[in-house]
């Protein structure tokens, strides 16, 4: 079992609200990722981190921001949510340092912006 | 940029039969890893199998095996003795020296009883 947790599991909010999606892992992994996935579609990398104080943007342009103050915590924030942000957000982690690492995924946060 | 292509949006298999899911990828790197992930309706992503590019031997995990053709940049997944619990979205993924993972669009597998 992967020890990576995402909260909330489901979130419905109104346009313009600021939200933070939480992601925590207890495995001591250096690398963490945020993916965005529309139903039945491929995953798009939106942010990743190689470790504390390291954050990078992924392939998909995103209006979200991330922070990595602690190894175990990689929250994603939307300052002003819009209906176009409606999607599933998946957090993942890996040990890092080599290319043979598998990703551990959280259960995801399904975000709906009205 | 590395890309991963899954040309089969949907596949169907009879229970206990064998099905093969296709995946091709594009890369200029020689050292990389390939993965198949399963995403059941619960949406939790689960690693099914992985393959190191430098290994010629195809990876196997119980009923799951791959056909890795490095020259052709092909990485198909074979599921033998299909079970109802195998029904899910299957994603092919690639990770190279750049260290960020790329996913295909996914193949939805239906298992018929």
Q: What pLDDT was estimated at residue A70?
A: 96
pLDDT, position B42: 65
Decide if A65 contacts A77 (C-beta within 8 A).
Answer: yes
Q: So what's the pLDDT on residue B43? A: 65
Smallest Cα–Cα separation from B93: which of A70, A45, A3?
Answer: A45
Is B33 close to A100, i.e. CB distance below 8 A?
yes
A22: cis peptide before it, omega within 30°? no
Percent of chain B with pLDDT over 70: 92
CA distance A50 to chain B (A): 9
Bridge-based pairing state of the strands B10-14 and B107-112: parallel
- For residue B27, the surrounding DSSP H or E stretch is none
* Distance separating alpha carbons of residues B11 and A103, to the nearest angstrom: 25
Answer yes or no: do A90 and B45 touch at CB < 8 A. Answer: yes
Q: What is the pLDDT along chain A (114 residues), one digit of tens a residue?
A: 558 999 998 999 999 999 999 999 998 998 899 999 887 677 888 999 989 999 998 877 778 999 999 999 999 999 999 999 999 999 998 876 555 456 788 888 999 999
Confidence band, pLDDT 50/70/90 cuts, at residue B33: confident
Is B62 an 8 Å CB contact of chain A? no
Predicted local confidence at residue B54, as pLDDT: 87
Say yes or no for a CB contact (<8 Å) between A99 and B106: no
Query: Is some CB atom of chain A closer than 8 A to the CB atom of B41?
Result: no
| Alpha carbons B86 and B112: distance in angstroms, whole number | 10
What is the spatial distance between Cα B96 and Cα B85, in angstroms, rounded to a whole number?
A: 31
Whether residue B100 is predicted with pLDDT greater than 70 in this model: the reply is no
B95 in contact with A, Cβ within 8 Å: yes
Residues of A with Cβ-Cβ distance to B104 under 8 angstroms: 42
Rounded CA separation B113/B110 (Å): 10
pLDDT of residue A97: 54
DSSP letter, residue B45: -
Mean pLDDT of chain B: 89
At residue A68, the pLDDT reads 97
């Amino acid at each position: 079992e992967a020890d990576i947790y995402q909260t909330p599991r489901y979130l419905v909010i109104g346009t313009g609200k600021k939200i933070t999606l939480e992601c925590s892992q207890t495995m001591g992994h250096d690398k963490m990722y945020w993916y965005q996935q529309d139903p039945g579609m491929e995953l798009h990398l939106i942010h990743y981190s190689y470790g504390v104080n390291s954050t990078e943007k992924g392939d998909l342009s995103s209006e979200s921001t991330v922070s990595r103050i602690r190894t175990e915590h990689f929250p994603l924030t939307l300052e002003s949510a819009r209906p176009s942000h409606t999607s599933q957000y998946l957090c993942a982690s890996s040990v890092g340092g080599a290319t043979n690492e598998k990703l551990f995924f959280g259960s995801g946060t399904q975000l709906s912006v009205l | 940029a590395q890309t991963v292509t899954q040309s089969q949006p949907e596949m169907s298999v009879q229970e206990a039969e064998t099905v093969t899911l296709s995946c091709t990828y594009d890369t200029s790197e020689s050292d990389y890893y390939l993965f198949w992930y399963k995403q059941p309706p619960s949406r939790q992503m689960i690693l099914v199998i992985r393959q190191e590019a430098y290994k010629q031997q195809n990876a196997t995990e119980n009923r799951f095996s791959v056909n890795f053709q490095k020259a052709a940049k092909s990485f198909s997944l074979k599921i033998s003795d299909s079970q109802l619990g195998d029904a899910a979205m299957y994603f092919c993924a690639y990770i190279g020296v750049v260290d960020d993972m790329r996913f295909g669009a996914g193949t939805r597998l239906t298992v018929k009883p």
